[in-house]
Amino acid sequence: MQESCIMQGHDLGALRRLNTVAVLQALRAGEPLTLSRLKSATNLSRPTLELALEDLTTRGWVAEAATGEGRSPGRPARRFRFRAEAGRVAGVDIGLHKIVLTLADLAGEVRATEREDIDPAMDGADRLDFLRQRLRRFLDDHAVRAEELWAVGVGVPGLVDEAGRIRSVIVPEWTGLDLGRRLSETFGCPVIAENDVNLAAVAEHWRGAARLTDDVACVLAGRRAACGLLLGGRLHRGRRGGAGELGSLPHLGLASAHEALQWQHGDKEGESEITALVRALESDDPEAHAVLDAYAARLAPGIAALVLAVDPDLVVISGGVTPAGQWLTPRLTTHLRDLTLHVPQIAVSTLGEPGVSLGAVRTALDSVDTILDNPTGPLPSTTR
């Protein structure tokens, strides 16, 4: 009898947690909702909804939304909203030459982005120390308290295995480093390290050119060449985190394609090579068009190999060449026709330099999701 009561109590607690998760998911999905709309979204009874809302409000996840103007006369229905401001996540892109940091609330709304150059000669220990200090300063500058930071995503220019250890990275001293664990010890929250191009692919699917597509190849085209893959809307990393690393095969041409993109005709002081090339393309300079066509021809074999292996719906080109995207994509499509059975749609990233850090934000939010959407674990309070 006593065992039966214990089991019934356990089952009741689990059911309440399931109901609370359902309500929280409905509110996190969008705009504030009335009890009637919550009932439609969750199929829960009004008393059950009220219990779940009371629990979520007590824990700081939900608040009653302010009454909007312009509503019909009479007493307005109470509306409830997810308190996205209850916490923060951060995304970091730390490359050889620069660091980009992005701060977002728990709904993914970007609150701040900063960039800073890095000395490429900085060694591994100094770079790790710099990363810690720069992230701490970024959080302090935007008044993020330790208990408000729920997760951090970090993009690195190298492979990251399933255990979170960095493999084959531009910074040799970081090989074998469990960067997530080291940073988690400093910041007191989950820290997820991931390959930067993988995070670029995640960002494109979340906020960029691949929002409506689930099978995507994101190609970093520049002095460094790499690919990130999304299959069925999920990041495909491979067994050791190296899926899509076609830049490591020299004969495919991805790693050396940038050698064809030489343009020395800029006449403005301090103007980058790609900016000068774009100006020439806009002026319909035939030599500029020939340079870009040669570049597309060098890119095509590597991208064709990727297309034949994975058959994505969309290939997104990212990296320094994106300002020339409107001229590059039709040329690349033409060259791919001779190499593949089917030419997917080719698009150019519109996210710019913050793209990797934005993908890191999405990865950090996924970590928060696993906590808030867990139907069996305890629901934490916003003040951890």
* pLDDT greater at residue 245 or residue 265: 245
Question: In this predicted structure, what is the pLDDT of residue 384?
Answer: 62
Nearest to 292 by CA among 221, 353, 239: 221
Same domain, 345 and 241: yes
Same domain, 225 and 333: yes
Residue 5 binned pLDDT confidence (cut-offs 50, 70, 90)? very low
Evaluate if residue 67 carries a pLDDT over 80.
no
Same domain, 136 and 48: no
Same domain, 92 and 158: yes
Q: Has residue 161 been placed in a domain?
A: yes
pTM of the predicted structure, to 2 decimals: 0.91
Same domain, 61 and 115: no
Evaluate if residue 367 carries a pLDDT over 90.
yes
pLDDT tens-place string over residues 192-224: 999 999 999 999 999 999 999 999 999 998 778
pLDDT tens-place string over residues 177-196: 999 999 999 999 999 999 99
Q: Has residue 100 been placed in a domain?
A: yes
Question: In this predicted structure, what is the pLDDT of residue 3?
Answer: 36
Question: In this predicted structure, what is the pLDDT of residue 267?
Answer: 62
What string of H, E and C letters represents the secondary structure of 287-354?
HHHHHHHHHHHHHHHHHHHHHHHHCCCEEEEECCCHHHHHHHHHHHHHHHHCCCCCCCEEEECCCCCC
What's the whole-number mean pLDDT along residues 77-93? 96
Same domain, 304 and 327: yes
What's the whole-number mean pLDDT along residues 297-317? 96
Domain count for the chain: 3
Same domain, 190 and 279: no
Q: What is the CATH number of the domain that holds 20?
A: 1.10.10.10
Q: Has residue 384 been placed in a domain?
A: no
Evaluate if residue 7 carries a pLDDT over 60.
no
Q: What is the CATH number of the domain that holds 179?
A: 3.30.420.40
The CA-to-CA distance between both ends of the chain, in Å, stands at 37
Same domain, 97 and 187: yes
Q: Has residue 381 been placed in a domain?
A: no
Same domain, 19 and 144: no
Nearest to 324 by CA among 271, 270, 297, 288: 288
Nearest to 362 by CA among 251, 252, 207: 207
Q: Has residue 383 been placed in a domain?
A: no
pLDDT tens-place string over residues 260-271: 888 876 566 667
Evaluate if residue 87 carries a pLDDT over 90.
yes
Q: What is the mean pLDDT of the chain?
A: 91
Q: Has residue 205 been placed in a domain?
A: no
Evaluate if residue 373 carries a pLDDT over 70.
yes
The pair of structure tokens assigned to 383 is 């003040």
Q: Has residue 270 been placed in a domain?
A: yes
Q: Which residue pairs, CB below 8 angstroms and at least 24 apart, start in 253-257?
A: 253/298, 253/299, 253/300, 253/301, 253/302, 254/219, 254/221, 254/225, 254/299, 254/302, 254/303, 255/224, 255/225, 256/298, 257/221, 257/225, 257/295, 257/298, 257/299, 257/302
Same domain, 304 and 194: no
Q: Which residue range(s) make up the domain with 222?
A: 211-350
Q: Which of 28, 51, 82 is the last residue of a domain?
A: 82
Same domain, 256 and 343: yes
Q: Has residue 331 been placed in a domain?
A: yes
Residue 6 binned pLDDT confidence (cut-offs 50, 70, 90)? very low
Same domain, 233 and 146: no
